[in-house]
Amino acid sequence: MFGSVSRFLILVGLLLIFFGLALQFFPKIPFFRLPGDIVIQRKNFVFYFPIVTVLILSLIFSILLNIFSRR
């Protein structure tokens, strides 16, 4: 049982590293700036809350987990 949980956590960690590197090296990728994401820009401050991006990623991960968990 713990083998599958540890593999899943490693996969999630690798995906987070991949997305973090993609954001770092390619900040202008349109996938990460979808319409509906909240951006507040002030003089010396930028607040970015990717609500739509998070919802879409959650939907994709839910579908993938549902497909792979039916084995």
Stated pTM of the model: 0.51
pLDDT by residue (tens digit) across 22-34? Answer: 778 876 766 667 7
Angle at 68 between CA 18 and CA 33, to 5 degrees: 35
What's the pLDDT band for 16 if we cut at 50, 70, 90?
confident
Instruction: Check: CB of residue 53 under 8 Å from CB of residue 32.
Output: yes
pLDDT by residue (tens digit) across 37-67? Answer: 888 889 999 888 888 888 888 998 888 888 7
- 25 sits in which H/E element: helix 2-25
